[in-house]
């Protein structure tokens, strides 16, 4: 997927203006017979502005003819952020930095807001609960409109949660649990309805898989999701392949969204090209539709004004920038968002865990022994080469994958802090750090497997049946 030039000006409706003035400058320089070098420089900038314009709008720039309002997205520019070496879009995440993606830069690029201490404190005040470790540790690091959600909540206006998963295989890894663990906490904390979209249609369109397999993976993945502890009376899980056909209201929203997004826009946001199948081009509307409460009449009694909050990994933001752009134009509230960082691969934070590479991930089906071996063998270490050197100079927790995983899963802040200090000072060796991680992961995964075993086909069916939930709207 093509990325934006980081040095290019922010693509926005302002672009034609700078293009106009640059065009005028070139003309003036030429009529005034300015120095050739000056003219050349001005022409070069003009061409660059035109190229940027085309990338954002998908149209050639015509002087005095601004793009249609709807071809320029409100929030920010293209989804792919090639920022220095970082690359983030819904399908790829990579960076050359061992510390991982620079998330502060991503906030600037995507035009979202930082989850700062003030917001974390406010969530604590409003909910009366200790903030989840993912909030305390900056794992859910970015948001859109969270203050608005809290303002409304304080005035007794409820909201609902929406998250999802693309079921590309039966195997889920611990990284896949991050949004669900956090969503469960949000649901318990605010006592609100939750809808979970399983995009089996998306995986069919993007991968070399049969429809039957994608649907089967959706149901299998639903079991792992249910095993996170969601309340069946407050949660609706749906497969797109099932629900799209069963719910006229959902499909009506899909069509409304499709009418208000142009091919140019999705090209700009997702980088689709001429040889992508039309299913992909139409798909973003299907991921957008659950952001609107009247897509679920059985839960919200046809109301269209219930605010939606979407916890997701930052790579899903392009879908929701599009959604937020469309929302006011079809008379719906914009969904709010909470974005998480990626869960790093065992080999290092340059990329995220991938279900298709067994050695890069800890799977939810791994045995205690497999977990131990994978961590010991594959977890990238920030330790020194020899014990002597390590004791002398200390390790680097910022690039150490075992330490990073502990920040996700070790609940105790003091213990975590002590591990960091001891590792950095050299008091704690790599093998010892890895053991801490193994001791944390093994019981966690075993407990998950136990809970998953308890999930019956009947329970899955109940979660996946469109029905009213325990809320009065």
Q: Name the residues that contact ligand TRP, by CB under 6 A.
A: 162-166, 197, 199, 202, 287, 310, 312, 316
**What strands, in cross-sheet order, belong to the sheet with 344-345?**
87-88, 93-94, 348-352, 344-345
d(CA 406, CA 404): 5
In contact, 414 and 382? CB cutoff 8 Å: no
When the beta carbons of 72 and 241 are compared against ligand TRP, the nearer one is 241
When the beta carbons of 72 and 101 are compared against ligand TRP, the nearer one is 101
Closest distance of CB 240 from ligand TRP, Å: 9
The continuous run of DSSP H or E covering 410 comes out as none
When the beta carbons of 335 and 344 are compared against ligand TRP, the nearer one is 335
Closest distance of CB 338 from ligand TRP, Å: 10
When the beta carbons of 164 and 268 are compared against ligand TRP, the nearer one is 164
d(CA 296, CA 247): 8
Closest distance of CB 418 from ligand TRP, Å: 34
When the beta carbons of 312 and 346 are compared against ligand TRP, the nearer one is 312
When the beta carbons of 67 and 167 are compared against ligand TRP, the nearer one is 167
> Could you give the angle at the alpha carbon of 235 between the alpha carbons of 230 and 238, nearest 5°?
110
Closest distance of CB 337 from ligand TRP, Å: 9
Closest distance of CB 44 from ligand TRP, Å: 39
Torsion of CA 258, 261, 267, 271, to 10 degrees: -70
In contact, 72 and 13? CB cutoff 8 Å: yes
Pairing of strands 235-239, 307-313: unpaired
Closest distance of CB 172 from ligand TRP, Å: 11
When the beta carbons of 199 and 295 are compared against ligand TRP, the nearer one is 199
d(CA 200, CA 219): 10
In contact, 448 and 364? CB cutoff 8 Å: yes
Q: Using the structure block, give the residue that is written with the tokens 């003309």.
A: 27
Q: Where are the beta strands (DSSP E) in 44-156?
A: 87-88, 93-94, 113-114, 140-144
Closest distance of CB 197 from ligand TRP, Å: 4
d(CA 393, CA 412): 26
């Amino acid at each position: 997927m093509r990325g934006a030039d980081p040095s290019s000006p922010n693509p926005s409706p302002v672009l034609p203006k700078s293009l106009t003035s640059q065009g005028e400058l070139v003309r003036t320089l030429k009529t005034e017979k300015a120095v050739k070098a000056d003219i050349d420089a001005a022409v070069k900038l003009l061409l660059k502005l035109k190229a940027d314009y085309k990338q954002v709008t998908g149209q050639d720039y015509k002087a005095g003819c601004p793009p249609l309002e709807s071809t320029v997205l409100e929030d920010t520019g293209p989804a792919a952020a090639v920022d220095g070496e970082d690359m983030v879009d819904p399908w790829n995440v990579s960076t050359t930095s061992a510390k991982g993606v620079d998330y502060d830069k991503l906030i600037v690029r995507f035009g979202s807001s930082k989850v700062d201490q003030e917001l974390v404190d406010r969530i604590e005040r409003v909910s009366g609960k200790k903030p989840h470790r993912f909030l305390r540790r900056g794992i859910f690091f970015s948001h859109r409109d969270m203050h608005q959600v809290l303002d409304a909540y304080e005035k007794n206006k409820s909201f609902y949660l929406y998250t999802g998963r693309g079921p590309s295989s039966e195997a889920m890894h611990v990284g896949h649990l991050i949004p669900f663990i956090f969503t469960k906490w949000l649901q318990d904390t605010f006592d609100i309805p939750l809808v979970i979209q399983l995009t089996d249609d998306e995986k069919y369109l993007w991968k070399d898989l049969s429809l039957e397999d994608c649907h089967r993976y959706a149901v299998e993945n639903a079991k792992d999701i249910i095993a996170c502890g969601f309340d069946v009376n407050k949660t609706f899980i749906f497969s797109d392949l099932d629900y799209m056909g069963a719910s006229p209201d959902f499909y009506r929203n899909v069509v409304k969204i499709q009418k208000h997004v142009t091919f140019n826009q999705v090209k700009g946001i997702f980088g689709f090209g001429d040889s992508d199948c039309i299913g992909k081009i139409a798909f973003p509307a299907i991921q957008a539709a659950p952001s609107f409460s009247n897509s679920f009449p059985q839960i919200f009694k046809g109301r269209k004004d219930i605010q939606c909050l979407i916890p997701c990994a930052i790579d899903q933001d392009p879908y929701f920038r599009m959604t937020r752009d469309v929302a006011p134009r079809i008379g719906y509230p914009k969904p709010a968002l909470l974005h998480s960082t990626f869960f790093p691969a065992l080999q290092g934070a340059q990329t995220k865990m991938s279900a298709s590479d067994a050695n890069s991930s800890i799977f939810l089906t791994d045995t205690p022994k497999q977990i131990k071996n994978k961590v010991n063998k594959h977890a990238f270490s920030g330790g020194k080469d020899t014990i002597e050197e390590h004791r002398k100079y200390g390790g680097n927790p910022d690039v150490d994958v075992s330490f990073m995983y502990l920040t996700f899963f070790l609940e105790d802040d003091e213990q975590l802090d002590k591990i960091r200090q001891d590792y950095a000072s050299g008091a704690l060796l790599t093998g010892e750090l890895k053991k801490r991680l193994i001791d944390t992961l093994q019981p966690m995964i075993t407990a998950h497997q136990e809970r998953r075993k308890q999930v019956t086909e009947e329970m899955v069916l109940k979660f996946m049946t469109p029905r009213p939930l325990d809320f009065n709207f």
